[in-house]
A = this chain, B = another copy of it.
Amino acid sequence: MTGQTLRPFLRRATQLYPDREVVARTADGTKRRTYAETADRVTRLAAALRAAGVGRGDRVATLCWNHDRHFEAYFAVPDVGAQLHTINPLLPADDVRGIVESAGDRLLFVDPSLTDALTAAYDPEAFESVAEVVVMGAVPDLPVDSVTSFEEFVAGHGGDYDPPALDGDDPAGLCYSSGTTGDPKGVEYTQRMLWSHTMAIMTPMGLDIADADVVMPVVPMFHINAWGLPYAATAAGAKHVYPGPSPDPADLVALIEREGVTLTAGVPTVWLGVLDYLQDHDADLSTLDRIVIGGAAPPERLIRAFDDLGVEVVHGWGMTETAPVGAVSHLKPELRDADYETRLEKRTKQGLILPGLEFEVVDDAGERVPHDGESMGELRVRGPWVADGYLDGDDDAFEDGWLRTGDVVTVDPDGYVELVDRAADVIKSGGEWISSQAVENAIMGHEAVSEAAVVGVPHERWGERPVAYVVAGDADRDALIEAVSDRLRDSYPDWWVPDRFEFVESIPKTATGKFAKTDLRARRDEPLDGPVAAEPPADGEA
């Protein structure tokens, strides 16, 4: 028995902080319960799951926002030895259907406000494994066979619950990665992975979570366990605040003020919305200490604006495969006295790999690249909360325990990782790498450009060369190309300048709103072979 399971976290919180609260904004008003009451409800739900035949290795799906019942499922489902399978209801219906079919979920919990997503995805064959749908509230009309309400499901259970023995290798979670290419891939979490991740993000090098914190995960609980915050807040004995379905900026600000939130987390757009709201509304954010940003790099103006409000923006990096937090832009002590711009530069990077993980950044030949802030390579990570395979056995991304993240990064001499591209998108020209994202950002910096995507197309001599697709209305195209090329040459080697600029009406997008670069690359099936705008280093020919 290793004891590396989630159960002791909640048990300790109940013993040491019985009266601390788990608060949720729900469609039925504010729910406010203590850890002691919450633990009783977790026991009741676990007993109901067992009575429904859910046991070791089974999967229980959720299509839910951030609220009290979802939190209870976070502990109850793994407690019976099953996997909590959080599904993103915002995925295309085909993906939701495919995920349920692939996982073979035995039960499915759904929010009343998300039953449309279930209805759209539902198909009796794909959902054959689902014995029952449990609605987190009143039961609406649903085209599924067996439906019950949460209260009905748990009624009468709990008193006789005998928790099964668990160890670190037991299953605990399942989350599908909505990668940029191909079908979603299932990532399984063991008890040990979630235990390790919880301990790591509690440390000062992680998110520094203590019992004094009031933690509000705005990042959805269907998005990689809300970055692990529900587990870490419990382990620390912190107060929880769940913002419920579709919170808007006014809801979030009201919760911060009323509940005294100290730590919150979400993608940048959420906080840009909050900043806009704050321009027209007075608010007291004095308790708020830090906002964890992930999913995309925080814009500088976001960091600056919250600095002015006395709130620290902490940038984190992670993936479904890393459960998810792998790096945090913690400011090293020697940088704390640096000028503001230098600190800002570090804080916008993906950050320092967490204690407990190993990392390396390697080029195409598998050689480690220097930590000079310029050399690019693919980030590889390994450790106790890093997956070592996918559910469907497609294990190309894994090698000797290392996860090939697919993220192309630089590491600066201070050790900060910066994401510069996706491996699938980086342009390999003359044996050197060109960051498509860097070139895109430079082009989008031009005032007339609304969107730009840069892809590599085959070139006989140089392997690949960059081609830019640009949305620029009726701007003067030649002047724009000249201005953008000059700007690129200011910051990057000459040979990063695209050989061709194609002006288009719009850039094709994927279901999750990212540039569909695969489509763009397919547009140029003829290799380029002419002279290039500037030649890559001659010693690195393709």
Given contact pairs A384-B4, A388-B1, A12 touches B204 in the complex (Cβ within 8 A): no
**Which bracket fits the contact residues of A?**
35 or more
Decide if A32 is an interface residue (CB 8 Å cutoff). no
User: From A1, which residue of chain B is reached at the shortest CB distance?
Assistant: B401
Among the listed B17, B204, B237, which residue makes an inter-chain contact with A209, where contact means beta carbons less than 8 Å apart? B204
Q: Contact between A415 and B355 (Cβ–Cβ < 8 Å)?
A: no
Contacts of A386 in B (CB 8 A): 3
Decide if A2 is an interface residue (CB 8 Å cutoff). yes
Contacts of A12 in B (CB 8 A): 353, 355, 357-359
Given contact pairs A3-B384, A3-B401, A332 touches B211 in the complex (Cβ within 8 A): yes
Decide if A333 is an interface residue (CB 8 Å cutoff). yes
Q: Contact between A235 and B356 (Cβ–Cβ < 8 Å)?
A: yes
Decide if A74 is an interface residue (CB 8 Å cutoff). no
Decide if A225 is an interface residue (CB 8 Å cutoff). no
User: From A200, which residue of chain B is reached at the shortest CB distance?
Assistant: B199
Decide if A302 is an interface residue (CB 8 Å cutoff). no
Given contact pairs A199-B196, A199-B200, A3 touches B237 in the complex (Cβ within 8 A): no
Contacts of A200 in B (CB 8 A): 199
- Write out, one digit per residue, whether chain A residues 208-235 have a CB within 8 A of any chain B CB (1) or not (0): 1111100000000000000000000001
Say how many copies of this protein the assembly contains. Answer: 2
Q: Contact between A235 and B355 (Cβ–Cβ < 8 Å)?
A: yes
- On A, residues with C-beta under 8 Å from B are 1-4, 8-9, 11-12, 15-17, 168, 192, 195-196, 199-200, 202-205, 208-212, 235-237, 330, 332-333, 352-353, 355-359, 371, 382-384, 386, 388, 401, 414-415
Per the bound structure, the CA–CA distance linking A11 and B211 in Å amounts to: 31
Given contact pairs A3-B358, A3-B384, A12-B357, A203 touches B236 in the complex (Cβ within 8 A): yes
Contacts of A358 in B (CB 8 A): 3, 8, 11-12
Per the bound structure, the CA–CA distance linking A16 and B12 in Å amounts to: 34
Contacts of A388 in B (CB 8 A): 1
Per the bound structure, the CA–CA distance linking A427 and B412 in Å amounts to: 63
What's the least CB distance linking A425 to chain B, in Å?
26
What's the least CB distance linking A316 to chain B, in Å?
16
Per the bound structure, the CA–CA distance linking A208 and B235 in Å amounts to: 15
Among the listed B15, B371, B415, which residue makes an inter-chain contact with A415, where contact means beta carbons less than 8 Å apart? B15
User: From A333, which residue of chain B is reached at the shortest CB distance?
Assistant: B212
Per the bound structure, the CA–CA distance linking A236 and B354 in Å amounts to: 9
Q: Contact between B3 and A205 (Cβ–Cβ < 8 Å)?
A: no
Contacts of A330 in B (CB 8 A): 211
Q: Contact between A384 and B2 (Cβ–Cβ < 8 Å)?
A: yes
With A203-B203, A212-B332 given, name 8 new contacts (CB 8 A).
Answer: A1-B388, A4-B384, A8-B358, A11-B358, A12-B359, A15-B415, A203-B236, A205-B211
17 inter-chain pairs at a CB distance below 8 angstroms, sorted by A residue, are: A3-B356, A4-B196, A4-B384, A8-B356, A9-B356, A11-B358, A12-B355, A12-B358, A15-B415, A16-B414, A202-B204, A204-B209, A204-B211, A211-B330, A212-B332, A235-B355, A235-B356
